[in-house]
Amino acid sequence: MSQPTPDFSRGAAYVNGTFVPMSEAKIPLGDWGFTRSDVTYDVAHVKHGGFFRLDDHLDRFETSLAGYRLTPPVDRAQMREIVGRCVALSGLREAFVAMLSTRGVPRVFGSRNPHDCDNTFYAYAIPWLDVIKPDVQERGAHLLVASVPRFSSRSLDPTLKNYNWRDLSRGVFEALDSGYDTALLLDDDGFVTEGPGFNVFIVKGDVVTTPDRGALLGITRRSVLELCPELGLEPRIAPVTFDDLMEADEVFTTTTAGGVMPCARVNDRIYGNDRPGEISLRLKALYWQKHAEGWHMTPVNYDDPERPFAAGLTPEGEKRP
Amino acid sequence: MSQPTPDFSRGAAYVNGTFVPMSEAKIPLGDWGFTRSDVTYDVAHVKHGGFFRLDDHLDRFETSLAGYRLTPPVDRAQMREIVGRCVALSGLREAFVAMLSTRGVPRVFGSRNPHDCDNTFYAYAIPWLDVIKPDVQERGAHLLVASVPRFSSRSLDPTLKNYNWRDLSRGVFEALDSGYDTALLLDDDGFVTEGPGFNVFIVKGDVVTTPDRGALLGITRRSVLELCPELGLEPRIAPVTFDDLMEADEVFTTTTAGGVMPCARVNDRIYGNDRPGEISLRLKALYWQKHAEGWHMTPVNYDDPERPFAAGLTPEGEKRP
């Protein structure tokens, strides 16, 4: 009797060498990726049936793996193939694609030595989602500067993507409790860092600034910095204080799972007409227009999931074949 | 055809309402307990076929749950029953018993709101293990004071047991790289906090001191503080500086998974004869002697796992029935 074809439409995952529906994707309770949050990851997205800046995400993931001293059992080319296959299997033209490596379960029972663990690689593609809901993006997000400070960069390198989110999660509760959509965290010295899963930008005149510290080197952040000149804007990476935030003309956030997301309020400060600012909206429009034009895009071959990046389909935008 | 009886001898776990062998215990890849380390836990131990200070562990777990605003689907009495049943099913007379609650997977796909998650409860009993290997305990552990500081208590409350271990894990790598057994972390102000999974004590004359900040309120730590007077020692909870550590007569660590574990070296400082100190060894001996005498012990009823704490079996030591 033949096996029924798995239903990958709600997401496809790669777990221990096999592809399973997202609902079946699990990790052992004893994996240090869970019991010590000893794991790093990256998240790319697919729009119009193609990955956006896939190799930039793989570059960053490799940097994170090195920082965590994690050696997954697959190489970069295989990871690329696996995430492509997750998308092709799911059939999703708009997706959120995660790749991750955990420390694993020690080979020697009870060992506390990370060298006794076989590191893992997991991946999955799930339907597109926005970190900040579309209707909230439409009216402009309301951010609360949380009282909890971001983990010090001396203890946790924020440029290595990780799940040690306790500070951010506390910030989210604080924001929701006060009727805000989400939180923004300052570091111990009072400088603006980032929010739960997104970078932040302030606009003052034609200068567009994002913090130089305490934050992930976001791929959407980089895209915005690259696109600014096309709109006659000056991109800047610099310290951002709480006062800078309050005195800005506009504020917006950026993330893979949402793109450019304008804000209308931070704490009791209301920007412009309590709506997304003009420059934020122009950057948002340009960001998505670039997607439609195939900028940094790697199309997925949905017809044959075993060859997710069929030869001849990679356009000029992508840096590497 | 009847199902084969599961083999629980290498550990029994409670997952989504059923008891499974530890090797089958898994959590969904999308659970925020994993993707945000939004989870709290506690770990008790079983020696001589009985739990040690089970209700103290449950008290602390309830404090952690409240701090994390987690509401598992089982109440305290049920949790107690579940961990007891894990032990009884495993048949283990010496075990390490974990209980944990994760934020869960959001009910609404893509939601970033913790209120959209159904919190979970997992538990498991596995064979006894020592955080610091028995042979290393025997010669006295070698600790390295790591260069990475412990997460600030302003960002992460160390008294709520959690898996945000990146700082501790970095410390472990640093220690192993330099030939030490494990690490000890200082806070941003230079005060001694704790190591990966254990508290620390210094002995100076007949005063036994453990740090007053940056550390878990360990159950073994509390037991040692309670036992000190029986040996004519003065227990103290106070700030401990790096210099205090260097100038101590003896150093030892404490944890549920290991008990009282003497140290022989911290950095380049060698204590006594490069062996466990006399007071550390007396405390260790008393701690285990108390176990043998049934101090704070709740015996497990291995004959009927469905009634793991059979009536009439709870001795005086345990505070609550």
Question: Is the pLDDT confidence value at A239 over 80?
Answer: yes
Do A150 and A125 lie in one domain? The reply is no
Owning domain of residue A224? 134-292
- Give the chain A residue whose CA is nearest to the CA of B131: A112
Q: What is residue B132's predicted lDDT score, i.e. its pLDDT?
A: 84
Q: Of the residues A114, A129, A144, which one is the last residue of a structural domain?
A: A129
Asked if A37 and B163 come within 8 Å (Cβ–Cβ), the reply is yes
- Give the chain B residue whose CA is nearest to the CA of A14: B29
Nearest to A287 by CA among A264, A307, A258, A313: A258
Amino acid at position B60, single letter: R
Q: For tokens 């538990």, name the residue.
A: B123
Whichever domain contains B100, its CATH number is 3.30.470.10
Do B233 and B98 lie in one domain? The reply is no
Do A227 and A100 lie in one domain? The reply is no
Asked if B132 and A151 come within 8 Å (Cβ–Cβ), the reply is no
Alpha carbon of B156: minimum distance to chain A alpha carbons (Å): 6
C-alpha dihedral sign at B95, B101, B102, B105: positive
Alpha carbon of B18: minimum distance to chain A alpha carbons (Å): 15
Amino acid at position A91, single letter: G
Determine, yes or no, domain membership for A245.
yes
- Say what angle helices A278-292 and A219-227 make with each other, to 10 degrees: 100
Query: What residues in A contact B149, CB-CB < 8 Å?
Result: 152, 154-155
Cβ atoms A96, A257 nearer than 8 A = yes
Asked if B114 and A173 come within 8 Å (Cβ–Cβ), the reply is yes
Q: Of the residues B67, B99, B129, which one is the last residue of a structural domain?
A: B129
**Two tokens at A229?**
């000149």
Asked if B27 and A27 come within 8 Å (Cβ–Cβ), the reply is yes
Between A315 and A189, the more confident residue is A189
Determine, yes or no, domain membership for B320.
no
**What's the mean per-residue pLDDT of chain A?**
94
β pairing state of B269-270 and B259-266: antiparallel
Do A115 and A166 lie in one domain? The reply is no
Asked if B182 and A112 come within 8 Å (Cβ–Cβ), the reply is yes
Alpha carbon of B78: minimum distance to chain A alpha carbons (Å): 20
Determine, yes or no, domain membership for A79.
yes
Between B319 and A109, the more confident residue is A109
Do B249 and B194 lie in one domain? The reply is yes
Query: Region A205-231: what's the mean pLDDT?
Result: 98
Largest CA-CA distance found in chain B, in angstroms, rounded:
68
Q: What is residue B310's predicted lDDT score, i.e. its pLDDT?
A: 81
Strand-pair partners of B117: B106
Q: Specify whether the backbone of B91 is left (phi greater than 0), alpha (psi in -120 to 50) or beta.
A: left
Amino acid at position A15, single letter: V
State the pLDDT confidence band at A2, using cuts at 50, 70 and 90: low
The residue ranges of chain B whose pLDDT is under 70 are 1-3, 311-321
Strands (E), chain A: 12-15, 18-21, 26-28, 39-47, 50-52, 95-102, 122-127, 141-145, 182-184, 199-204, 207-211, 234-238, 250-255, 259-266, 269-270, 297-299
Do A274 and A150 lie in one domain? The reply is yes
Determine, yes or no, domain membership for B316.
no
Do B65 and B88 lie in one domain? The reply is yes
Determine, yes or no, domain membership for A304.
no
Size of interface A-B (CB pairs under 8 A): 144
Query: What residues in A contact B20, CB-CB < 8 Å?
Result: none
State the pLDDT confidence band at A3, using cuts at 50, 70 and 90: low
**Two tokens at B96?**
């390490």
Query: What residues in A contact B197, CB-CB < 8 Å?
Result: 112
Do A70 and A179 lie in one domain? The reply is no
Question: How many structural domains compose chain A?
Answer: 2
Nearest to B164 by CA among A126, A148, A73, A181: A148
Q: How much is the ipTM here?
A: 0.95
Asked if B25 and A28 come within 8 Å (Cβ–Cβ), the reply is yes
Rg of chain B (C-alpha set) = 20
Do B163 and B262 lie in one domain? The reply is yes
State the pLDDT confidence band at A90, using cuts at 50, 70 and 90: very high
Determine, yes or no, domain membership for B42.
yes
Q: What is residue B227's predicted lDDT score, i.e. its pLDDT?
A: 98
Helix-then-strand count for chain A, H and E? 8, 16
Determine, yes or no, domain membership for B313.
no
Determine, yes or no, domain membership for B80.
yes
Whichever domain contains A266, its CATH number is 3.20.10.10
Q: What is residue B1's predicted lDDT score, i.e. its pLDDT?
A: 47
Cβ atoms A169, B162 nearer than 8 A = no
Q: Of the residues A129, A145, A172, which one is the last residue of a structural domain?
A: A129
Do B39 and B88 lie in one domain? The reply is yes
Query: What residues in A contact B188, CB-CB < 8 Å?
Result: 152, 154, 188
* CA B123/CA B281 separation, integer angstroms: 33
State the pLDDT confidence band at A319, using cuts at 50, 70 and 90: very low
* CA A124/CA B29 separation, integer angstroms: 9
Amino acid at position A320, single letter: R
Q: What is residue A311's predicted lDDT score, i.e. its pLDDT?
A: 57
Q: For tokens 């840096």, name the residue.
A: A319
Do A288 and A140 lie in one domain? The reply is yes
Asked if B155 and A154 come within 8 Å (Cβ–Cβ), the reply is no
Do B144 and B280 lie in one domain? The reply is yes
Please state which of the ranges A3-12, A28-37, A119-128, B274-283 shows the lowest mean pLDDT: A3-12
